[in-house]
Each structure stands twice: as structure tokens, then as C-alpha cells.
Structure 1
Amino acid sequence: MDALKQLKLAKNGYIIMSVLFMVLGACLIIWPDCSMAVFCTAVGIMLIVYGLIKILGYFSRDIYCLAFQFDLAFGVLLAAVGIIIIVRRNVVVNLIFGIFGLLILADALFKIQMSIDAKKFGLNLWWRILLVAILTGVLGFLLLIRPFEAAEIMMILVGVSVLFEGILNLCVAIYTVKIIKNQKQDIIDMDEY
């Protein structure tokens, strides 16, 4: 696959998944009493697709190498968690809040580091990514400690967290992934060595 097409596919996939996460978050806020079977299946499928997009992004030729720098391992993890959520839905239901909290917190921490790297590259809007990443990390942490016992309130918290995860990933895709039409692949001249 052409490097430019691969980068466009990864960026567009990132944007589409970000919007889907925002929609899922809004749905969970509006309908917190949704069926756990439907929720687990939808989330499992989304995590598998998102993991594959992250893996594709890792191998793309991003100019700044910021958005996708941690995505190989994290993409594999997301796809594996998605498969586990679908296959072992009855076991995962009791752990779903902790799983979401851990994934969201980890992604937010990676994005905090990425925003600091973006500042070093001179990207002007690095601070927006940092602010959204910190807020998303706090929401992920809240999911981990499970401050509420009521399942509906926890589903609303999951919805808010997933909504902010989508916003965070959208910011990353828009602010850090630059596609230049005449971008060339790196060529190493072996004669120089």
C-alpha cells in the first residue's frame, strides 16, 4: 500500500472511530440502562476495529510521528480486549468499568506524553490535547475506583469517559497527523556509509 494512502486511511479511521466513540458516549449518557449484552458486543467490535486502525497507524509514515507512536502495542491490546469482551461477555460484565477505566487512563497518559512531545515539535495547539488528556485521565481514574454503586450512574460515567476519549482522539488526529501530498518516503543512501 502506498505510504500516503496508508496514512490517510489511518487518519480517517482515527477520525471515524473518534466520532463513533463520541456517539457511543452520548448514547450511554442518554440511555444508561441499555442491555449489557448489546453494550459489550458493540464495544467489543469497536475496540477490535480501533485496535486494527491503531496498528495500521503505527506502520504509517506520519511526518511528526506523534499520533501513532504508541499504537502498535496499544492497538494489539485493544483488539485483544475487544475479543475477550465479546467471547467472555458473561465474565466481563462485572469487570467492565475497571476495564474501561484502565484503557481510558492508559490512553490518556500516552496522550499527555504525546502532547508534551508535540510542544517540542512546535505545534501550537499541543495544550488542547494536554487539557483534554488530563480530563480524560481523571474520568478513567474515576471508572477504576468506581465511586458510585448504582449501575446507571456508572454507565453515565462510562458514557462521559467514552465521549471525552472520542474528543481526545479527534484532537490528536486533527492537530498532529499532517498529510502532505508530495510527501516522500525516507530513502537511505547506502553509499554514504
Structure 2
Amino acid sequence: MRSVKFMRAAKTSYIVLSALYCVFGVLLIAVPDFSMKLLGILVGCMMIGFGAVKLMGYFSRDLYRLAFQFDLAYGILLIVLGLIVLVRPVQLVSFFCLVLGICILADGLFKIQAASDSKRFGLRPWWLILTLAIMACLAGLLLVFRPMDGARALLVLLGIAMLAEGILNLCVACSMIKIIRHQQPDVLDAEFYEKRG
């Protein structure tokens, strides 16, 4: 039997950080006069945290392997970008909005593929994940191209994108990460002997 503690920790962390993304997104939409330095520090920490959770999820080997299938490289990328943002939080506001927009767009595209795969697995909420993934892609594109000028508009766009990403990840965590208590390991450890005569 395989221990499910690591999988449960990955799923719980994924849900908690997704909820934090939602809360932070709503906060940015409601209060767009946020301190740029504090914003850079918070976004950098959240990127590092989410990168670590994605790595943990990738190595947890959940049952369907849909939620974390692309998260090895993506988790490392988030950690590196989060560290860059933490080093210069004020000077890189425009940079981290661009980077976060690209990351949200990429994650949305990965989740579109995961939704397609979950349809083949017979998971019912595949259409909801597909819809939310498309919305996250659009929010990421808005953040990258920034059709509105000004710091307040940029922070509202950042809030919308983070809210969309948080909702998408919450839905993915709740519907795609399945933990089976008596899950068998991937490789059976056994010895076979040929019987003669």
C-alpha cells in the first residue's frame, strides 16, 4: 500500500494557496491603492509558495495524475520568478504583472489539456474546468497586454487574473485530485520464479 499523507498534504496546500489567490485577487479589485513594495513582496511569496506546492503535487503521484502532470518545470519556474520579484519588488511591478499574466495564461492552457484528459477519464466536472481555464487564459492575456493604462487599472487587472487563477485551481484541486486510501504503488515489487516440470 502507498501512504497518502504526502498526497493529502499536497492537495490541502493546493487548496489553501488557491483560496489565498482568490482572497488576494478580491483585495486588489476592492483596494487598488495597494503599496507597490508590499504588493511585490506578497506576489513574490505567493509565487514561491505555489511553485513549491506544484512541485510537491508533482511528486505526490495522485491517482489520476491530471492536476499536477505539468507541474515539475512550472513549479521551478514559479519559484525562480518569485525570487526575482522578491529581490526588487518595487522596480519590477510591470515585469511581474507581465510574468504573472504569462504564468496564468500557461496554467490555463495546461488546465485546458487536463480538462480534455479528465473527460476521457469520465470525470463529470471537466466542462467546468474547461470553462474556468478559458477564463483564466483570457485574464492572463488581459494582464499581458494591459488594454488600460494607470497603476490602479493594472492592479485591478492583476486582481481579476489572480481571482480567475485561484478559482480555477480550487476547482481542479477539488475535482481532479483523488486520494484513495488503499492505492497500490506504481511498480509492483515482487520476485517471480519459473516452475520446471
Q: Does 1:111 align with 2:111?
A: yes
Q: Secondary structure at the match of 2:4?
A: helix
Q: In the alignment, is residue 26 of structure 1 matched against residue 29 of structure 2?
A: no
1:117 alignment partner, SS class: helix
Q: Deviation at 1:95?
A: 1.5
Q: CA 1:192–1:151 in structure 2 vs 1: closer, same or farther (change >3 Å)?
A: farther
TM-score normalised according to structure 2 size: 0.93
1:117, CA displacement in angstroms?
Answer: 0.5
Query: Which secondary structure state, in structure 2, belongs to the residue aligned with residue 74 of structure 1?
Result: helix
Structure in which a larger fraction of residues adopt helix: 1
Kindly state the Cα deviation for residue 182 of structure 1 after the two structures are TM-superposed: 1.6
Q: 2:159 corresponds to which residue?
A: 159
Which deviates the most, 89-98 or 5-14? 89-98
- 8 Å contact kept, 2:39–2:89: no
Pairs within 5 Å for 1:66-105: 66-105=66-105
Gaps of 5+ in 2: none
Which one-letter code corresponds to 1:144 in the other structure?
A: V
| RMSD (CA atoms) | 1.5
Distance in 1, matches of 2:34 and 2:189, equals 58
Moved more, 108-117 or 96-105: 96-105
| Aligned 1:9-88 pairs, distance under 5 A | 9-88=9-88
Distance 1:59 1:186 in 2: 13
Q: d(CA) in 2 for partners of 1:50 and 1:97? A: 16
The amino acid across from 2:74 in the alignment is F
Matched letter for residue 142 of structure 2: L
Aligned position for 1:168 = 168
Deviation at 1:188, TM superposition (A): 2.7
Displacement of 1:96 in angstroms is 2.6
Instruction: Provide the identity percentage.
Output: 47
CA distance in structure 1 between the aligned counterparts of 2:119 and 2:172, rounded to whole angstroms? 13
SS at match of 1:75: helix
Once the two structures are superposed, residues 91-111 of structure 1 have per-residue CA deviations (whole angstroms, 9 ceiling, x without a partner) of 312323211211110110011
> Is residue 26–residue 159 contact of structure 2 (8 Å, CA) maintained in 1?
yes
- 1:131 CA drift (Å): 0.0
Q: Match for 1:19: what amino acid?
A: A
